[in-house]
Amino acid sequence: MAGILKTVLGKSKINLSKKKFAIVVAEWNEDITETLYQGAFDGLIQLGVKRTNIIRKNVPGTFELTLGALWMAEKKEIDAVICLGCVIQGDTPHFDYICQGVTYGITEVSIKTRKPVIFGVLTTLNKKQALERAGGKLGNKGEEAAVTAAKMLEIKP
Ligand code: DLZ
């Protein structure tokens, strides 16, 4: 178990057994985003979330995470949304547009719906950096996203 999850499990007071989470997953760079999904899913389970209270929604690419997140966050029964994607820099400025679009988009969904919408998007210069953050030497950012979602529900007024 990763350090961050252990720390949260040790301190957390919130009972997550009745909380419902949506995980929105981009299909671009699928090998990476599947690992992020596994990290987020396993993290939520270890934090006490019921398997049946985790709803997965796939979208084509990271750019579409915004609308996928909005669809999920607008559902009354969903308490928090986790967005997972991986954008790897190429030869054109496409990377910047996708990253900027999804960053603003997810922020807006969160503010509009007043629900935690977590930014679990890797924005890396190459595949090696992505692999390091998807179950590699730098942990699994999907698991960190799950912890962040749980923390936000804990501090929600
Ligand atoms: C087009 C595109 C490119 C070039 N690179 C990525 C990427 O690295 N990661 C990712 O998640 N999506 C990429 N996409 C697809 C866009 O997110 C989006 O699906 C398309 O531009 C269609 O709106």
Examine the pLDDT at 140 and tell me if it is beyond 90.
Answer: yes
Does the beta carbon of 123 lie inside 6 Å of ligand 1? no
**Inside any domain, residue 14:** no
How far is the centre of ligand 1, averaged over its atoms, from the C-alpha of 82 (Å)?
Answer: 18
Domain residues for 39? 21-155
Backbone phi, psi, residue 135, to 5°: 90, 5
Confidence (pLDDT) at 109: 98
Work out how many domains the chain is built from and give that number: 1
**Inside any domain, residue 38:** yes
Confidence (pLDDT) at 91: 85
**Inside any domain, residue 115:** yes
Give the whole-angstrom CA distance, residue 133 versus residue 85: 12
Examine the pLDDT at 2 and tell me if it is beyond 60.
Answer: no
Q: Model pTM?
A: 0.95
* Identity at 29, one-letter amino acid code: N
Average pLDDT over residues 60-69: 98
Give the whole-angstrom CA distance, residue 153 versus residue 86: 25
**Inside any domain, residue 47:** yes
Give the whole-angstrom CA distance, residue 65 versus residue 80: 14
94 assigned to active site: yes
Nearest to 141 by CA among 72, 46, 39: 39
**Inside any domain, residue 29:** yes
Contacts of 125 (CB under 8 A, 6+ apart): 88, 89
CATH of the domain at 81: 3.40.50.960
Average pLDDT over residues 49-68: 98
**Inside any domain, residue 15:** no
How far is the centre of ligand 1, averaged over its atoms, from the C-alpha of 30 (Å)?
Answer: 12
SS3 sequence of 100-143: HHHHHHHHHHHHHHCCCEEEEEEEECCHHHHHHHEEECCEEHHH
How far is the centre of ligand 1, averaged over its atoms, from the C-alpha of 116 (Å)?
Answer: 24
pLDDT (tens digit, 9 = 90+) per residue, 9-31? 666 667 899 999 999 999 999 99
**Inside any domain, residue 11:** no
What's the mean pLDDT when you consider all of the chain? 94
Binning pLDDT at 50, 70 and 90, where does residue 1 land?
A: very low
Average pLDDT over residues 67-82: 98
**Inside any domain, residue 12:** no
Nearest to 80 by CA among 47, 104, 122, 102: 47
Q: Which of 94, 127, 128, 156 is catalytic?
A: 94
Specify whether the CB–CB gap between 150 and 114 falls below 8 A.
no
